């Protein structure tokens, strides 16, 4: 009886009747930055994603504000403040999908929040200055205020930043970031976005 069952199973395998396994795609999602002041211009990518037993046929993005797009790499700008959740759906060539969610905060940079900032032209280019505050409950060992500059078509030009140190909870510091990039129109300022990054004193 065992021999008959063995022959039957072998026949099913050779005849292609056994169910074919399909593994889901493996997405490698990168979104940067995930927080900052409005307007917030982000870069989102799934470059490096793969399917273990096939190919990736489609990538869909939902930016949480009724905007849906398709593609491996996205540049997107949030103009309104709020909490958003980016959904990216990676689909393989057999229709199996993997979904990843990435939260984005527009208008509040936690824990190093930009309270106010101004942009103005000066003799050497453009300066961005303002105040930041540690709105978290942990001491910030190092903080970075980054300003990304764009041309009139919102093409990225450069990023400049200012390093701040030792901010206790509730503490404020002023910052100034300078760029040689000139305003895109007479009397105006270049397009820009601003965001922050921190390193806590108790992180290793």
Encode pLDDT of 24-64 as tens digits. 999 999 998 898 888 888 999 999 999 999 999 999 999 99
| Structural domain for 143, as ranges | 112-200
For residue 127, what are its two tokens? 């300066």
Q: Are residues 27 and 95 in the same domain?
A: yes
Q: What is the pLDDT of residue 185?
A: 56
**To which residue do tokens 């003799």 refer?**
123
Find the CATH number of the domain harbouring 78. Answer: 2.60.40.10
Q: Both 88 and 116 in a single domain?
A: no
Distance, CA of 194 to CA of 190 (rounded, Å) = 13
Q: Give the pLDDT confidence score for residue 189 in this predicted structure.
A: 56
pLDDT confidence of residue 71: 96
Q: Which of 158, 30, 3 is nearest to 86 (CA)?
A: 30
Mean pLDDT, contiguous 10-residue spans, the chain (204 residues): 42 49 91 88 93 94 95 92 95 94 90 90 88 93 91 83 93 94 62 84 59
Per-residue pLDDT at 6: 40
11 within domain boundaries? no
Q: Position of tokens 């450069």?
A: 158
Among 75, 106, 137, the domain boundary falls at: 106
Kindly give the pairing relationship between strand 82-92 and strand 97-106.
antiparallel
Question: Which residue among 69, 91, 106 closes a domain?
Answer: 106
**Which of these, 43, 64, 38, 80, lies nearest to 156 by C-alpha position?**
43
Number of domains in the chain: 2
Q: Is the same domain home to 131 and 76? A: no
pLDDT score at 191: 79
CATH of the domain at 188: 2.60.40.3230
Cβ-based neighbours of 86, under 8 Å, separated by 6 or more: 31, 44, 61, 62, 63, 64, 101, 102, 103, 104
Closest CA to 47 of 99, 87, 90: 90
Tell which of 68, 87, 106 closes a domain.
106
Q: How far is residue 91's CA from residue 97's CA, in Å, rounded to a whole number?
A: 4
Q: Are residues 44 and 97 in the same domain?
A: yes
Supply the pLDDT for residue 84. Answer: 96
Q: How many CA atoms lie within 13 A of 195 on its CB side?
A: 19
């Amino acid at each position: 009886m065992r021999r008959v069952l063995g022959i039957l199973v072998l026949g099913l395998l050779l005849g292609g009747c056994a169910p074919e396994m399909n593994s889901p795609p493996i997405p490698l999602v990168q979104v940067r930055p995930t927080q900052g002041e409005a307007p917030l211009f982000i870069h989102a990518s799934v470059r490096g994603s793969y399917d273990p037993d096939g190919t990736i046929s489609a990538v869909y993005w939902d930016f949480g504000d009724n905007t849906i797009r398709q593609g491996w790499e996205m540049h997107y700008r949030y103009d309104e403040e709020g909490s958003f959740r980016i959904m990216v759906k990676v689909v393989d060539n057999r229709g199996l999908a993997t979904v990843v969610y990435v939260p984005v905060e527009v208008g509040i940079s936690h824990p190093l929040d930009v309270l106010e900032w101004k942009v103005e032209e000066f003799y050497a280019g453009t300066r961005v200055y303002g105040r930041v505050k540690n709105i978290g409950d942990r001491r910030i060992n190092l903080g970075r205020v980054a300003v990304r500059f764009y041309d009139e078509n919102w093409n990225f030009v450069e990023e400049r930043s200012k390093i701040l140190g030792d901010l206790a909870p509730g503490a404020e510091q002023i910052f100034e970031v300078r760029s040689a990039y000139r305003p895109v129109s007479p009397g105006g300022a270049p397009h820009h976005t601003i965001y922050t990054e921190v390193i806590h004193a108790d992180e290793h």
